[in-house]
Amino acid sequence: MPIHLGVNIDHVVTLRQARYREMLDSPNAEPSVLQAALEAEAAGAHSITVHLRADRRHIQDADVRLLRKEIATKLNLEMGNTPEILAIALDVRPDFVCMVPEHRQEVTTEGGLDVAGQKEVLRDTVSKLQANGTNVSMFIDPDLDQVRASAEIGARMIELHTGTFANHLGAERAKEVARLKAAAELGHSLGLQINAGHGLTTKNIADLFVVPHLAELNIGHHIVSRAVFIGLRTAVKEMLDAITPYRG
The catalytic site residues sit at: 51, 78, 198
As beta bridge partners, residue 157 has 137, 193
Q: Half-sphere exposure (CA, 13 Å, Cβ side) for 96?
A: 27
CA atoms of 197 and 4, how far apart (whole Å): 12
- Indicate the residue type of 154: G
Sign of CA dihedral 237, 238, 244, 248: negative
Which of 138, 96, 133, 134 lies closest to 114 in space, CA to CA?
Answer: 138
Residue 8: which residues within 8 A CB-CB, separation 6 or more?
A: 49, 50, 51, 78, 197, 218, 219, 220, 221, 223
The SS3 of residue 76 is: strand
The count of other CB atoms within 10 Å of the CB of residue 141 is 21
CA atoms of 134 and 115, how far apart (whole Å): 19
Measure CA 179 to chain center. 20
CA atoms of 113 and 57, how far apart (whole Å): 20
